[in-house]
Amino acid sequence: MEKIGQFGRYEVVAEIGKGAMGVVYRARDPLLDRTVAIKTVLMSDDPQEMAEYEARFYQEAKAAGGLNHPNIVTVYDIGKTGNLAYMAMELLDGAELRSLMRPGTPLGPARAVEIAAQVAEGLAYAHQHGVVHRDVKPANIMILKNATAKITDFGIARMRQSEVHTQTGVVLGSPRYMSPEQVAGKRAEPRSDIFSLGVILYEMLTGKPAFTGEDVTSVMYQILNVMPPAPSTVNPAVPAVLDFIIAKALAKKTEDRYQSAGELARDLRDSGKHASAAVGAPTAQPAAQPLLDTEAAQALARSLPIERRADAEGVVVESAPTLGLSKAFDSLDATLKLAVQTGMAEALKGKADTVGVASPSEMVAAMRRGPGWSARDKLIFAASVGAATVVGAIIVFA
């Protein structure tokens, strides 16, 4: 390969792409004889700001370089050439998740859940090691040809929020995927990454953004104040249990959200066990709806933020009603009503005439008072009432 430039010992052979912060190159490491990706970051021209920026870059790059997880891109080296800082990292053979998420075309539920679960596991590892991404979005997630999801740009996101003079008061990053606390100008934390991943999962499942607007201000307003419709109401192929998982991930208050990315990953894995569609199955064949475990659904529903608990009531599958009489059952009125419904009214009236009472009501009342009928009469009447009760119950509960 012909060399077209150099960063430190790395020989640049091709440009891969450009971003807001700099350019990504394919390069060769002659020392270890391997191909790497070089991501550059343009420094400030101001000497004072450049020194601060450079210090932050090395601090964050060092933290990112200490992460060793299958769902996080590996950083090999860092350095600086002129006013360009750079990271040398593993070269990934795949595509950005952004390119797989086409507007109006959701991913299959099983595939979306698998991608989100892998990202959640990568975030959980980073958070355990004190590293918060702060800019989780589809452009920072790579999907390899073997279906592995890799989170990129750890360390660079923090630099976008570097407290240098030119950054003061500016909201940076991707507003559509920002957490409420980031929109409000507060410090990002691990639960901020969880919110961003929830937004991504919502979009993968529905083919639509969770928060939209004509401009950045309206998008930020929605993030702070609006809960998007349940995914299953937008895409019927989405299992209902994912409505509650996403609701918890998108809770406005951090204390109502998943408290760790590991918890989110476990719930996603559990929900994925119900899906019968294979990962990567065509979206034209939606995954089968899972049979919800009632106890698990109730537990998850109880942990939802209050704004989505009403939805949880629909998840619990109640057992079939048990046949039986109400405790408020009035034997006289009910017997007469059942007699009319079952065609026994005339027979009951004829029996009343035989025993010399004015009406079936008086006959039943007389029976309730005690003696006056023969044993045979009582047996016939009891059999009639029993039959009427059974038939009536069948009519009422059928």
The token duo for 396 is 């009422």
Structural contact between residues 142 and 118, judged by C-beta atoms closer than 8 angstroms: no
Q: Which residues are catalytic?
A: 135
C-alpha 63/C-alpha 56 separation (Å) is 11
Main-chain dihedrals φ then ψ at residue 250, nearest 5 degrees: -100, 15
Q: Return the closest-CA partner of residue 130 out of 85, 71, 189.
A: 189
**DSSP-based helix, strand, coil % in the chain, nearest 5:** 45, 15, 40
Q: In sequence order, which residues have a C-beta less than 8 Å from that of residue 336 and are 6 or more positions away?
A: 345, 348, 360, 361, 364
Q: Count the Cβ atoms, other than its own, within 10 Å of residue 387.
A: 13
Can you tell me the distance from the alpha carbon of 197 to that of 181, in angstroms, rounded to the nearest whole number? 15
